[in-house]
Structure 1
Amino acid sequence: MSGDTPGIAEVPKHAPDAGPDGGGPALGGTAPVRVARRRARRILMVLSGMMVLVIGSTVAYAGYWYYRINHNIKGAPLHGAVVPPEQLASGGVIQPTPDAYGNLPINILLIGTDTRLPGKDADLGGFVDASGRADVEMLVHVSADRSNATVVSLPRDLMVPIPECVDAKGDHYGAQNVGMINSALAAGPGCQVDTVEMFTHVKIDHFMMVDFSGVVDLTNAVGGVDVCVTKAVHDPDSHLDLPAGTSQVEGTQALAFLRTREGFADGSDLYRTQAQHQYLGSLIRKMKSQATLDDPLQATHLMDIASKSLTVDDPIASVNKLLDLSNTLKKVPTENITFLTLPTVAYRPDPNRVAPDQELDDQIFSLIAHDRSVTEPSSQSGPASPTTGGPTVSQPAKPTGSGAPTSLAPSAVKDAIVVENGTTADGRSKQLAETLRADGFKNATGVGYSSSDVAITEVFYSKDQYEGAAQAVAAALQLPPGSVRPGGDGSAPVVLRVGADFASGDVFNPAAPTSPPPSALPSDAASSADVESAGDQNLCVTAAH
Structure 2
Amino acid sequence: MGRRGSSSDDPLFQEGGAPGQPVRGGQAPQPRRDTARHLRSSKRMGWLKIVAVVLACALIAGIGVVVVKVMGLRASLTAEPLNLGTGATGLPVDLSTDPVQILILGTDSRDNTGGAYGKDPSSDGKGNSDVMMLMNLSADRERVTVVSLPRDLLTDIPTCEDPQTGQVYPAQEFAQLNTALSYGGPGCTVAAVNELTGMEIDHFMMADFNAVKELSEVIGGVEVCVNEPINDTYSNLVLPAGVSSVQGEQALAFLRTRHAFGDGGDRGRIRAQQSFLASMARKIMSEGTLTNVPRLYNIADAVARNLTVDEGLTEITKLLALADRLKNVDLGKVAFVSLPTSLYEPNPNRLVMDEVEGQKLFEILRNDGDVTAGSKPEPSASPTEAPEETEEPSETAEPEPEETLSFDPSVQPVQVLNGSGAEGRSEEVVEQLQLLGYLLSAPAETVAGAESTSPATQIFYSAGFEDVARALAEELNVPKANVLSSETRYGVTVSVGKDFTTGEKLDPTGGVSGNFTGQTADQVTCQGSGGF
| Normalised TM-score (structure 2) | 0.62
Taking a change above 3 Å as real, the CA distance of residues 131 and 401 of structure 1, as seen in their structure-2 partners, is: closer
Q: Find the counterpart in structure 1 of residue 106 from structure 2.
A: 112
Structure 1 residue 343 displacement after superposition: 1.5
**Match of residue 516, structure 2, among 521, 529, 537:** 529
Aligned to 2:205, what secondary structure does the other structure show? Answer: strand
Q: Find the counterpart in structure 2 of residue 171 from structure 1.
A: 167
Taking a change above 3 Å as real, the CA distance of residues 527 and 541 of structure 1, as seen in their structure-2 partners, is: farther
Structure 2: segments with no counterpart, 5+ residues: 1-51, 391-511
Aligned to 1:246, what secondary structure does the other structure show? Answer: strand
Let me know the Cα RMSD of the aligned residues. Answer: 2.9
Distance 1:278 1:352 in 2: 23
Q: Find the counterpart in structure 2 of residue 184 from structure 1.
A: 180
Q: Structure 1, residues 412-462: CA drift from partner, whole Å, max 9, x if none?
A: xxxxxxxxxxxxxxxxxxxxxxxxxxxxxxxxxxxxxxxxxxxxxxxxxxx
8 Å CA contact retained: 2:333, 2:372:
no
Aligned to 1:352, what secondary structure does the other structure show? Answer: strand
Taking a change above 3 Å as real, the CA distance of residues 193 and 97 of structure 1, as seen in their structure-2 partners, is: closer
Structure 1: segments with no counterpart, 5+ residues: 1-46, 87-94, 377-384, 405-524
8 Å CA contact retained: 1:85, 1:197:
no
Taking a change above 3 Å as real, the CA distance of residues 54 and 124 of structure 1, as seen in their structure-2 partners, is: farther
1:409-428 aligned within 5 A: none
Distance 2:117 2:248 in 1: 10
> Does residue 1:129 correspond to 2:124, yes or no?
yes
Distance 2:298 2:291 in 1: 12
Distance 2:514 2:528 in 1: 16
Q: Structure 1, residues 390-421: CA drift from partner, whole Å, max 9, x if none?
A: x78999867744799xxxxxxxxxxxxxxxxx
Q: Find the counterpart in structure 2 of residue 59 from structure 1.
A: 63
1:82-101 aligned within 5 A: 82-84=86-88
Distance 2:369 2:60 in 1: 49
Distance 2:75 2:117 in 1: 24
Q: Find the counterpart in structure 1 of residue 141 from structure 2.
A: 146
1:454-469 aligned within 5 A: none
Structure 1 residue 285 displacement after superposition: 1.4
8 Å CA contact retained: 1:263, 1:544:
no
Taking a change above 3 Å as real, the CA distance of residues 136 and 189 of structure 1, as seen in their structure-2 partners, is: same
1:340-355 aligned within 5 A: 340-355=337-352
> Does residue 1:265 correspond to 2:262, yes or no?
yes
**Match of residue 158, structure 1, among 153, 161, 177:** 153
8 Å CA contact retained: 2:136, 2:146:
yes
Q: Find the counterpart in structure 2 of residue 75 from structure 1.
A: 79
8 Å CA contact retained: 2:274, 2:518:
no
1:401-412 aligned within 5 A: 401=387
8 Å CA contact retained: 2:271, 2:518:
no
Percent identity reads: 35
Q: Which has the larger radius of gyration?
A: 1
Q: Find the counterpart in structure 1 of residue 314 from structure 2.
A: 317
Taking a change above 3 Å as real, the CA distance of residues 285 and 247 of structure 1, as seen in their structure-2 partners, is: same
1:447-526 aligned within 5 A: none
Q: Structure 1, residues 304-337: CA drift from partner, whole Å, max 9, x if none?
A: 1111111111111111221122212334222201
Q: Structure 1, residues 27-76: CA drift from partner, whole Å, max 9, x if none?
A: xxxxxxxxxxxxxxxxxxxx977x45533441232122112101011111
One-letter code aligned to 2:86: V
8 Å CA contact retained: 1:264, 1:541:
yes
1:252-291 aligned within 5 A: 252-291=249-288
8 Å CA contact retained: 1:232, 1:543:
no
The structure with the largest helix share of the pair is: 1
One-letter code aligned to 1:132: G
Aligned to 2:259, what secondary structure does the other structure show? Answer: coil
One-letter code aligned to 2:74: N
Taking a change above 3 Å as real, the CA distance of residues 348 and 180 of structure 1, as seen in their structure-2 partners, is: same
Count of residue pairs brought into register by the alignment? 353
Structure 1 residue 166 displacement after superposition: 0.7
